[in-house]
Structure 1
Amino acid sequence: METRWSGIRRHHMRHATPFSEAREEILKILEDKVIIGHSIYNDFRVLDIFPPAHMVRDTSMTRHLRRLAGFPRGRCSSLKILSKKLLNRNVQVGEKGHCSVEDATAALDLYKLVEGEWEQEMENQLRDEGVPREPSFASSTHYMKDEYWPEDVTAHRANDASYCC
């Protein structure tokens, strides 16, 4: 049952929260929030959730990061490659699976590189499509205020911009 990405094994799941309960908790956490991640549609598919497209920032799919990295049009880049090229940061190098905090932090840091133009594009697109919305876009001042970031991560991030798990 171990996966090369998570490092999770069968014994880790013995006392785990049942899927339906975990899914409901995730839905509550994500409600009315902009979701930033890398290849997060894979996670959405597994969870059988479909957040509105205007509330998702998937760093694997944006042309803004591809252009900044100098990659050809249409190429979907891995978090590992984008992080190395644009953040000068090595991620996903361990043999025990990915560190979810490291991956989330890298995706957020990549998003911040193109936040202004990405959000402007989203705002223009929504206005053009006539999509009613309240101001709900991500704001840099709120990134690390999420109660679900472990304290040790937020403390390190506040003191060291190059923190990595």
Structure 2
Amino acid sequence: MGDRESPCALVVMGVSGSGKSTIAGRLAVRLGWRYEDGDKFHPASNVAKMSAGQPLTDEDRWPWLRAIAAEIDRTCAAHERAVIACSALKRAYRDILVHGRDDVRIIFLDGTQHLIAARLASRRGHFMPSGLLTSQFRTLEPPAADERAITVAIDRTVETIVDNIFSQLDLDRP
């Protein structure tokens, strides 16, 4: 494995509708790790803004991202492992979540705006209106090579996507 630590946390990122919750949840089951939905770390004011169709500002996001980063630090310090679904659309956001740790990996769910718009159109009961998708794609900064992200195409079955991620993880195995 070299000088890199086996991950204690995986952050599954992508725009709304890319499958973060589904993929992160299935991956957590496959790994036997805890699953966390990053949305639960949003303050109520952020949920209200998104429900009203208003994009969040960076100022809105900082406390949310710091709360997730604190959960990652707590998880790793307790020798636990977690898979966290979080949009993490910008490099600056991922830098807060990872903050230089070698034991946190980013997984980028990569899909076209057309495919994701079709998925969002069929969703019910989610607080992200599909009209914000264009804004999310404008904001999206795909991970750079130095972020060591695992990028997977989402135009496949959930099982195939999870298999693809699993095969690329550098895990300590007995």
TM value normalised by structure 1: 0.33
User: Which has the bigger relative contact order, CA under 8 A and spacing at least 6?
Assistant: 2
> Which entry has the higher C-alpha Rg, 1 or 2?
1
Which has more strand, going by share of residues?
A: 2
Which has more helix, going by share of residues?
A: 1
TM value normalised by structure 2: 0.32
